[in-house]
Amino acid sequence: MLNRHAAAFGIALSLTFGAPGFAQETASEDTMPKVEVQADTVLATVNGEEITVSHVIAARQGLAQQFQTLPDDVLFPGLIDQLIQQTVLGQAVEEISRRGEIILENQRREIAAAEKVDGIVADAVTDDALKAAYDAKYANAEPTKEFSAAHILVATEDEAKDLITKLGGGADFAELAKEFSTGPSGPNGGELGWFGPGMMVKPFEDAAMALGKGEISAPVQTQFGWHVVKLNDTRMVGAPELDEVRAELAAQIENDAVEAALQTLLEGATIERTDLEGIDPAVTRDMTLLDN
């Protein structure tokens, strides 16, 4: 179901498509001279209230996903029509309701908080910070052993034992995986690629680590079923290059910076909490309270 915002935009688009000469204007757009615009360029006025390029840009960011992919030459006039409709409807209201005021207060808090977070994040990720984070995580890292394995996943231990018997008789592991495995890797011959410690559930990991290259395990039970595991190979892997983990480190730096800034702000704030004992948590669903 579309919300009122999306429905209003749908009305605006209908008006735009139905406007006389719209198709002709779109077709001849390339031949029309371009007008240099600024953020405060006025695109319409409604009873003296201005609608600017900035308003249109902000409105586009709030559109539902189904509208985001529309062509610019459709969105642009449609957004202007939407804003005109919203403005004229808003002007017809003498006073915003208590519910509306509460929603606006929450929206302002959300927007202000998001802008503060953006500011913190923008200053957090520097070359020095990335280097420090990389050194802290990887400077003393020991090489780790990685494993390449394949498996066949079935529902019962007897099925797993039967597969091991077939393998002992010369059957091809990949073909058996394609035919019998219920796991998502089955169509790929059961191949799982390379993985390191902690990346697989423990019974599976223990079984794989105990195998020699080319060996096949006894049936291994996990929460997913019964596995027959084949170890393809092992390798020792050192610390990754900085560029390989840059995005991961940047995300961690940003998260740490926001948490630190938030903690500082919380510690410096005067916060008084009401005792929640006796207050029914179901109150969060009572929309009628917003009208009081």
pLDDT tens, the chain, 292 aa long: 345 554 555 555 544 444 433 444 444 555 667 788 899 899 999 999 999 999 999 999 888 888 888 999 899 999 999 999 999 999 998 888 889 999 999 999 999 999 999 999 998 999 999 999 999 988 888 888 999 999 999 999 999 999 999 999 999 999 999 999 999 999 999 999 999 999 999 999 999 999 999 999 999 999 999 999 999 999 998 888 899 999 999 999 999 999 999 999 999 999 999 999 999 999 888 988 888 7
For residue 32, the model assigns a pLDDT of 64
Q: Which two tokens stand for residue 233?
A: 């190979």
Residues sharing a CB contact under 8 Å with residue 188, sequence separation 6 or more, in sequence order: 177
For residue 139, the model assigns a pLDDT of 85
Query: Where do the domains of the chain lie?
Result: 4-21+38-91, 100-141+242-259, 144-237
Give me the amino acid identity at 50: E
CA pair distance 95, 72, nearest whole angstrom? 35
Beta bridge partners of 221: 226
Distance, first Cα to last Cα, the chain:
28
For residue 115, the model assigns a pLDDT of 94
For residue 119, the model assigns a pLDDT of 94
Beta strands per DSSP E along the chain: 42-46, 49-52, 144-154, 191-195, 220-222, 225-237
Give which of 190, 171, 194 is closest to 181, Cα–Cα.
Answer: 190
- State residue 41 phi and psi, 5-degree precision: -60, 125
For residue 229, the model assigns a pLDDT of 98
CA pair distance 101, 110, nearest whole angstrom? 14
CATH fold of 144-237: Chitinase A; domain 3 (3.10.50)
Q: Cα 257 to chain center, whole Å?
A: 20
CA pair distance 156, 152, nearest whole angstrom? 12
User: Exposed, middle or buried: residue 236 (CB in 10 Å: 0-12, 13-18, 19+)?
Assistant: exposed
The H or E element containing residue 130 is helix 127-138
